[in-house]
Structure 1
Amino acid sequence: MKAEPDSRTVQGKDVKFSVDDFETVRTTAWEGVRNAEARNLMKEMAVGDQVLFYHSNCKNPGVAAFAEVSKEAYPDYTAWDPAHPYYDPKTDEANPKWYMVDVTFKARTEHFIPLSLLKQIASNQPDSEPPSDVAYIGKDGISAIKEMALVSRGRLSVQRVEEATWAVIEKLAKGGGWDESGKAGKVGKPKPPKPAAEQAKNGEEDVETSSGVNSKGSTVKKRKATAEDNEESKSLRRSTRARK
C-alpha cells in the first residue's frame, strides 16, 4: 500500500505521510483510494492480513515498513467531503462507492528495499543465479520477484503480493547488502521502460508508485485501463491522514 513521504499541498492541506508519520500514529484509515480495482482488493482484506508500506512518488520509492490490516473495509467518508482532495461528487453516504481499511504499523524494514533493486532482480533470467549482493534469495527469489505486480504494473496504489514473494521481501528486508539510496549497484541493469506509444496501446502507465498486501490467491491480471483507472492515475492519491 503506497503513501507519499514528501510534503505536498493539495487544496491547502499537506498530504505527506511517511514511514515516520506512520510509526507515530500507529493506526490509520487508508482513505482516498479512487480506483475500482484497488478498492476491490481492499474489500477482500481481512483483519490480520499483512501489508507492505511503500514510499511512492518520490526520488527513491520502495518498501519501508511492515503493517497489518486492523479493520476490514468500510465506506470511505472522505469521498463525501467537498474539502477533501479526493472528494467525489458522484457518491454519497446513502450510496457509497469507495471503501477503506484501517492499517496498523508493525515494524520498519531493517533495510529499505528500493524499487530499483526489485526491478534489477526481476531483470535476471529465472534460471540464473541471483546477483552476488542478494545471493541469499536463491533462484526461486528471482522468480518470485518477477511475479510481483509492483515490477510489472506500477500504477495501482494497492496490489496483491503472493506468499512466495512476501517471503523474499522479508529476506531482503533482513539481509540487505545493496546501496539503499536507490542507486544501481551490483545487481545488474534494469530493463529499459516501454515506449510511451506501447504503454498507451496496452493501457499502462510507467508510474513507480505502488505497494502490496500479502493475501492468498492469484496475482491480479494485467488489464486495460478503465475510466476509473485513469481518474486515479491523473492525480496520484495523497494522504490526508492525521500526523502528530
Structure 2
Amino acid sequence: MPNYWLMKSEPDAFSIDDLEQLQHSPWDGVRNYQARNFMQAMNEGDLVFFYHSSCVPTGITGVAKVSKKAYPDYTSWDKSSRYFDPKSTPESPRWYMVDIEFIEKWSSIITLSELKNDPELATMLLTKKGNRLSIMPVTESEWTYISTTLRGKTK
C-alpha cells in the first residue's frame, strides 16, 4: 500500500503544467527540516496531491507519484543555485529531494477554502491553523475523501 502526501509548489516556480510537460522531475529546494524528514519517509509508488500555493486560488491541482526515494539534494552544493547551503556537503548532506512523476492534472482545483470548510477534513494537517509546511502526510481516509467525494463535486 502506498503512503499519501501533499506537496506544495508556487505555480510560477513549478506548476502541475510543468510537471505534465516534463512527466518526471526532481523535487529540489526543500529547506525546512520537518518537510525534509517527511520527504525522507517517502517510498517509490507513494501518491502525491500536487498543490499550488502563493497564488489565487491556492489548492490541489492534480496527482503525482514518488518515482525515486530521497537522495541528497545536490543544489545545496551549487554556489550558483538559489538553494545553496554552505553547511551541506556531498560528504555530509543536509538536504534531500525525491523524484516525482506526473499522473493527472485535474480539470478543477480543489481550493484551500473548500478543504478548510469541510468537516471531514478538520484534522488534516493542511487545514490546521499556522501550518505552512511544503510537504506533509495525508491519511488514507483524507486521500480517498478528497480524490472521490470532493473531486466529484468540482468536476
User: In the aligned structure 1, how far is the partner of 2:152 from the partner of 2:102?
Assistant: 17
Conserved? CA contact 1:111–1:175, under 8 Å: no
Q: 1:164 — aligned with what?
A: 141
* Structure (1/2) with the larger strand percentage: 2
Deviation (angstroms), 1:174: 3.0
For residue 111 of structure 1, report the CA deviation from its aligned partner.
2.4
Correspondence for 2:125: 149
TM-score, normalising length: structure 1: 0.58
Q: Indicate whether 1:2 and 2:8 are aligned.
A: yes
Q: Map Cα deviations across residues 70-115 of structure 1 (whole Å, 9 max, x no partner).
A: 0001000000011111110111111101111000010012421011
Residue among 94, 97, 109 paired with 1:97: 94
Match of 2:58 in 1: 61
State how many pairs are aligned.
147
Report 1:82-121 matches (<5 A): 82-121=79-118
Given candidates 56, 71, 84, the residue that maps to 1:74 is: 71
Identity across matched positions, percent: 46
Amino acid at match of 1:21: D
Amino acid at match of 1:170: S
Q: CA RMSD in A?
A: 1.2
List structure 1 segments (4+ residues) > 6 angstroms apart after TM superposition: none
**TM-score, structure 2 length as denominator?**
0.90
Name which one, 1 or 2, has greater alpha-carbon Rg.
1
1:18 Cα shift? 1.3
Separation in 1, partners of 2:114, 2:39: 27
Deviations 1:194-234 (A, max 9, x none): xxxxxxxxxxxxxxxxxxxxxxxxxxxxxxxxxxxxxxxxx
Letter in 1 for 2:67: S
Q: Name the structure 2 match of 1:195.
A: none
Structure 1 residue 17: Cα displacement:
1.1
Query: What one-letter code is carried by the residue in structure 2 that aligns with 1:26?
Result: Q
Displacement of 1:118: 1.0
Q: Give 5+ residue unaligned stretches, structure 2.
A: 1-6
Alignment map for 1:32-43 (pairs within 5 Å): 32-43=29-40
